[in-house]
Amino acid sequence: MRLKKIKGAKELLESNNLFIKDCSSLRGNFKKEFQNSNPIHLEIGTGKGDFIINMARNFPDANFIGFEKYESVLCKAALKENSLSNLRFICEDATNIEEIFNKEIDTLYLNFSDPWPKKKHSKRRLTHEEFLKKYDIIFKEKNHIIMKTDNQKLFEFSVKSFNNYGYKIEELYLDLHSENIFNIETEYEKKFSAKGLKIFKIEITK
């Protein structure tokens, strides 16, 4: 599906107090942006922002960054929140992730990432080994990834990829919404769950 561009999206983002325009200049020193040394949690593919905004609201003692490739998508998140001191938005391509962060991320969220179903496009998946290598550079100490998806084939690919790369599975759910656990939903998650689709979740460390 073709992404609908929103006129004025760039200007809207740049007018938002939480938007970081020159993020590469903060590489290795994002604690300066937040003015504290609290853990930094990063979501790649933040979409319209429901998950990352609610995480920031629920956990004021941690910092959160919503990372999204498309201005026309991220501006919708920016319309929802403009003042949380522990939240920031970045508009960049995930292929450049190691050029933006350096040994400062505590937890990485991969929520409902593009499954890139064709085999020839597998290297574009955010759980492919090529991306796992990039994540090694951004984590502060222990690598910590939490992933959710409705796509079973992507989930199976990811579990195998994580295992081959040396990650340890801490938690795994094949039907997340059947469990009585704390869970903040993304906008996609709400839609998929309403359709009766199962949500897969995995939490890993290395």
52-86 pLDDT, tens digit per residue, is 999 999 999 999 999 999 999 999 999 999 999 99
Q: How many CB atoms lie within 10 A of CB 37?
A: 8
Q: Which residues contact 160 (CB under 8 A, 6 or more apart)?
A: none
pLDDT surpassing 70 at residue 3: no
Name the CATH code of domain 9-19+35-205 (choices 3.40.1180.10, 3.40.50.150, 3.40.50.620, 3.30.2000.10).
3.40.50.150
**pLDDT for position 85:** 97
pLDDT band at 1 (very low <50, low <70, confident <90, very high): very low
Question: What residues act catalytically?
Answer: 114
Cα 107 vs. chain centroid, distance in angstroms? 9
User: How deeply is 52 buried, as exposed, middle or buried, from its count of CB atoms within 10 A (0-12, 13-18, 19+)?
Assistant: buried
Q: What is the mean pLDDT of residues 13-17?
A: 92
Q: In 3-state terms, what secondary structure has residue 77?
A: helix
Residue 103 φ then ψ, to 5°: 55, 50
Q: Which residues contact 203 (CB under 8 A, 6 or more apart)?
A: 144, 145, 146, 147, 169, 170, 171, 172
Average pLDDT, the chain: 94
**Domain spans in the chain, listed from the N-terminal domain onward:** 9-19+35-205
104-157 pLDDT, tens digit per residue, is 999 999 999 999 999 999 999 999 999 999 999 999 999 999 999 999 999 999
- Judge whether 139 and 176 are in contact, CB under 8 Å: no
pTM: 0.95
Look at the block and give the residue holding tokens 């941690």: 62
- For residue 178, the one-letter residue type is S
* DSSP structure string for 109-127: EEES-----SGGGGGGSTT
